[in-house]
């Protein structure tokens, strides 16, 4: 059985997601742990559950989702994966952070592997599908674990809201098109696990999201 754990990190309250099998494989999505105490929380959870991290996934390349990437990558010697279109955001993450008063202790690494729309990724818990959902950033990705009934959307879709489009790579029309063509076509009961804030579902967002 696949489980999903949310850990909220750094001053921007980013949702870091761990998708895992009991005492088995684990995927870490958007490791945003910025302080030693936050990183220890992540390590303690992995240790307590006896997990084996296999990969790091980025939903996008904005700085607030990246503070823990170097730490996790070095600790577990696992690949960091994301979309090529957000590579430039990684390269300027330190400058992005400084603009908002945030400092990196170590620059985030570049992607070890580029993911593209339609990729099916096999891991120790089965497989999931990658969807390219640009609009919040050019390289935003969503990860659909269909058999387990959830999709991790990063900052593309939130409960009763959508991602902002005034940051580098953002475009409102593109974002709405991505949501309508890639996310709202999923089953209504699909849980939406976002990059910030509470969970929701595809059905709830169809009914009540004022932007859609």
Q: Tell me the per-residue pLDDT of 48-97, one tens digit each, with 9 for 90 and over.
A: 999 999 999 999 999 999 999 999 999 999 999 999 999 999 998 988 88
CA distance 65 to 74: 17
Whether residue 90 contacts residue 46, with contact meaning beta carbons closer than 8 Å, is answered with no
Q: What sign results for the dihedral spanned by CA atoms 99, 102, 107, 108?
A: negative
CA distance 25 to 53: 6
How does pLDDT run across 87-136, given as a tens digit for each residue? 999 998 988 889 899 988 888 899 999 999 999 999 999 999 999 999 99
Q: DSSP character for 169?
A: T
CA distance 103 to 93: 10
* CB hemisphere CA count around 209 (13 angstroms): 22
Buried b (16+ CB within 10 A) or exposed e, 65-89: bbbbbbbbbeebebebbbbebbeeb
* CB hemisphere CA count around 170 (13 angstroms): 12
The encoded tokens of residue 164 equal: 């902002």
Buried b (16+ CB within 10 A) or exposed e, 116-155: eeebebebebeebebbbbbbbbbbbbbbbbeebebbbbbb
**Which stretches of the chain are assigned E, i.e. beta strand?**
2-9, 14-21, 25-29, 52-57, 80-82, 113-114, 120-123, 126-132, 141-145, 150-154, 157-158, 161-162, 191-194, 200-201
How does pLDDT run across 142-163, given as a tens digit for each residue? 999 999 999 999 999 999 999 9
The pTM for the full model equals 0.97
CA distance 164 to 84: 20
Given pLDDT bands bounded at 50, 70 and 90, which one contains residue 209? very high
Domains of the chain: 2-208 (3.60.15.10)
On the question of pLDDT at 21 being above 90, the answer is: yes
């Amino acid at each position: 059985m696949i489980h999903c754990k949310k850990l909220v990190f750094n001053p921007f309250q980013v949702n870091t997601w761990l998708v895992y099998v009991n005492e088995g494989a684990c995927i870490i999505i958007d490791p945003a742990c910025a302080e030693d105490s936050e990183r220890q929380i992540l390590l303690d959870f992995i240790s307590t559950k006896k997990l084996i991290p296999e990969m790091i996934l980025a939903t996008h390349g904005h700085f607030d989702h990246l503070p823990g990437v170097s730490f996790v990558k070095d600790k577990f010697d696992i690949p960091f994966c994301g979309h090529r279109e957000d590579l430039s955001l990684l390269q300027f993450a330190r400058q992005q952070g400084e603009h908002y008063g945030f400092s990196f202790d170590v620059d985030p690494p570049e992607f070890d592997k580029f993911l593209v729309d339609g990729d099916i990724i096999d891991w120790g818990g089965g497989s999931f599908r990658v969807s390219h959902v640009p609009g919040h950033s050019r390289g935003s990705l969503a990860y659909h674990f269909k058999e387990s009934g959830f999709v991790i959307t990063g900052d593309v879709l939130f409960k009763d809201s959508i991602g902002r489009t005034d940051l580098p790579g953002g475009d409102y029309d593109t974002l709405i098109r991505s949501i309508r063509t890639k996310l709202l076509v999923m089953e209504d009961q699909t849980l939406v696990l976002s990059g910030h804030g509470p969970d929701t579902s595809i059905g709830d967002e169809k009914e009540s999201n004022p932007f859609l």
